[in-house]
Amino acid sequence: MKITLSVIKADIGGYVGHSSVHPRLIETAERMLSQAQEKGEIIDFFVTRVGDDLQLILTHTNGLENERIHKLAWDVFEAATEVAKELKLYGAGQDLLADAFSGNIKGLGPGVAEIEFEERRSDPVVIFMADKTSPGAWNLPLFKIFADPFNTAGLVIDPKMHPGFVFEVLDVHTGKMARISTPEEMYDLLTLIGSVEDYIIKNVYRKDGEIAATASVEKLNLIAGEYVGKDDPVLIVRCQSGFPALGEVLEPFAFPHLVAGWMRGSHFGPLMPVPFHHANPTRFDGPPRVIAAGFQIAEGKLIGPRDLFDDPAFDEARHLANVISEYMRRMGPFEPHRVGPDKLEYTTMPQVLEKLKDRFQ
């Protein structure tokens, strides 16, 4: 049976400030999705949150970019926005950039990652969800998972993975995609994806064409033309039996790499892997967080989640992220803690610079 796994997310109101999601928004989403499930519109669902982002994880058989599924997610976000407005939560409806739904939720504000696949005898997947950062945050871990033999032993040992993987990279400014094959073109890939705000990995395929991973790549500032919060991306990765093992998929997050986002979307900081209950970024609105929800898919049912970073083996990564945060914070408003001027273009900074322009004689 071909199953579609859709992860659709939006920040539609923070509790308190931009730190978390109020339980009533989650209850609203669960109520509506369980009605949709009873009507047979979806097979299964799981609602969660990371920081101030509400995450809808859905399974169905309608394929990618299905209008009915996208409309369902939009309706959930609209209903939850009403609750957010009633509670006067912060930034109620923030990511719903359009006044009404029109065909496809992509480009309307929410982030989307979807894969369609023939369910295997056993099908483990990991859904990563991040807050206070942008989609380029996945570039480094995706490279390590699918192209770095020092991370993924299967690239060397497993005959199914040994041929390597194909990366689909999006140029965020032109909207065009390039397909780059590893290991042959590894250096070309790194030339692009090292620029995390300009080139973003959208999909990864096995050489036999099987989808291995997909990320949400929506850039809110490019959609809205102004700063409306960070994109706070999601990522789906398939595991085991010819894909990287669960532990190979999680391994890059043992290193809290620096990502753009954090306070006002304008600061570099470490991406801290946390259990679900610690996904409430409060220090300087951060540091950026990532959670990992593991599921076994069984006839489209979501068996899970397992809270995969709820493991003391990631304590050192969290500790290091705190040490790095402390170090970076002492830089205050100076680069490279603060992002460079081209990336500040979509913040409120240009308004401040405008005021100063006559001072230069």
Q: Which residues are catalytic?
A: 11, 227, 230
Report, in Å, the least distance between residue 308 CB and ligand F6R. 24
Report, in Å, the least distance between residue 353 CB and ligand F6R. 17
Q: Between 205 and 244, how does the x/- string for binding to ligand F6R read (CB under 6 A)?
A: ------------------------xx--------------
- Which entry of Mg ion, ligand F6R, none binds 350, CB below 5 to 8 A by partner kind? none
Q: What are phi and psi of 316, to 5 degrees?
A: -65, -35
Q: What are phi and psi of 233, to 5 degrees?
A: -80, 165
Report, in Å, the least distance between residue 18 CB and Mg ion. 4
Q: Which is nearer to ligand F6R, 33 or 80 (CB)?
A: 80
Q: Which is nearer to ligand F6R, 17 or 225 (CB)?
A: 17
Does 21 help bind ligand F6R (rule: CB under 6 A)? no
- Whole-angstrom CA distances from 9 to 114, 119, 288 are 12, 24, 17
- Which entry of Mg ion, ligand F6R, none binds 53, CB below 5 to 8 A by partner kind? Mg ion
Query: Rounded to 5 degrees, what angle do the CA atoms 145, 119, 50 make?
Result: 55
Does 285 help bind ligand F6R (rule: CB under 6 A)? yes
- Rounded CA separation 143/305 (Å): 25
Which residues within the stretch 238-277 sit at the binding site for ligand F6R (CB under 6 A)? 263-265
- Which entry of ligand F6R, Mg ion, none binds 265, CB below 5 to 8 A by partner kind? ligand F6R
In our burial notation (b when 16+ CB lie closer than 10 A, e otherwise), range 64-89 reads eebeebbbbbbebbebbbebbeeeeb
* Contacting residues toward Mg ion, per CB under 5 A: 11, 14, 18, 51-53, 91, 131, 229, 232
Q: Which is nearer to ligand F6R, 224 or 245 (CB)?
A: 224
Sign of CA dihedral 37, 21, 197, 283: negative
Q: β-pairing, 272-273 with 289-298?
A: parallel
Q: β-pairing, 258-261 with 44-50?
A: unpaired
Which residue, 75, 73, 58, is CA-closest to 4?
Answer: 58
- Which entry of ligand F6R, Mg ion, none binds 264, CB below 5 to 8 A by partner kind? ligand F6R
Which ranges of the chain does DSSP label H, i.e. alpha helix? 23-38, 67-86, 139-147, 154-157, 186-193, 220-224, 246-250, 315-329, 349-356
Number of residues that bind ligand F6R (CB under 6 A): 9
- Which entry of Mg ion, ligand F6R, none binds 285, CB below 5 to 8 A by partner kind? ligand F6R
Among 9, 60, 132, 338, binds ligand F6R (CB under 6 A): 132
Among 2, 17, 319, 350, binds ligand F6R (CB under 6 A): 17
Q: β-pairing, 123-131 with 2-10?
A: unpaired
Q: Which is nearer to ligand F6R, 129 or 246 (CB)?
A: 129
Query: Which residues in this chain contact ligand F6R in the complex, by CB under 6 A?
Result: 17-18, 132, 229-230, 263-265, 285
